[in-house]
Amino acid sequence: MEKATFAAGCFWGIEAAFQKTKGVKSTSVGYTGGTWKNPSYYDVCSGKTGHAEAVQVEYNPSEVSYQELLDVFWNVHNPTQVNRQGPDIGTQYRSAIFYHNAEQEKAARESKEKLERSSRFNAPIATEITPASEFYEAEEYHQSYYEKKGLKV
């Protein structure tokens, strides 16, 4: 199993997208990329912690490639938005790829460059690509939120 970590606005929607991806064995929503230890949802929403709402994906690389996970990531949000997705505004909603090793970093940078060259978007890609840092699991009521609420994505 390998890990991948992505931020793309509210973590509920991106988690649901990865849960439907063949080869993904588990997902967890949480907070990463900030400075506070063990932040709560309310801490992160304050904008003071520097964390992003993110999803951490455990996947089997023999069933799904990291590139395929990047494709899901690029397709579930607007990566040109700075610190927002739809009605959600704040640094916690930024677009980010948190890589766990050199291969993931290389793939993420190449994927971003390819997307920029594609002219798919009319604005620059704002997605940050940074090393993975401590991932703090969000409160239980956030985990598999759509599934718990019976909502389809």
Q: What's the pLDDT at 144?
A: 66
CB atoms within 10 A of CB 87: 8
**pLDDT the model gives residue 150:** 61
DSSP 106: H
Give percent above pLDDT 70 in the chain: 92
Instruction: Please determine, for residue 93, whether its predicted confidence score (pLDDT) is greater than 70.
Output: yes
| pLDDT over 90 percentage in the chain | 82
Please report where in the chains the tokens 């927002």 appear, as a residue.
Answer: 84
Record: fold of 2-149: Peptide Methionine Sulfoxide Reductase; Chain A (3.30.1060)
pTM of the model: 0.92
One of 7, 10, 24, 44 is an active-site residue; which one?
Answer: 10
> Cα(6)–Cα(130) distance, rounded to whole angstroms?
10
| Catalytic-residue membership of 45 | no
Minimum mean pLDDT among 82-86, 101-105, 146-150: which range?
Answer: 146-150
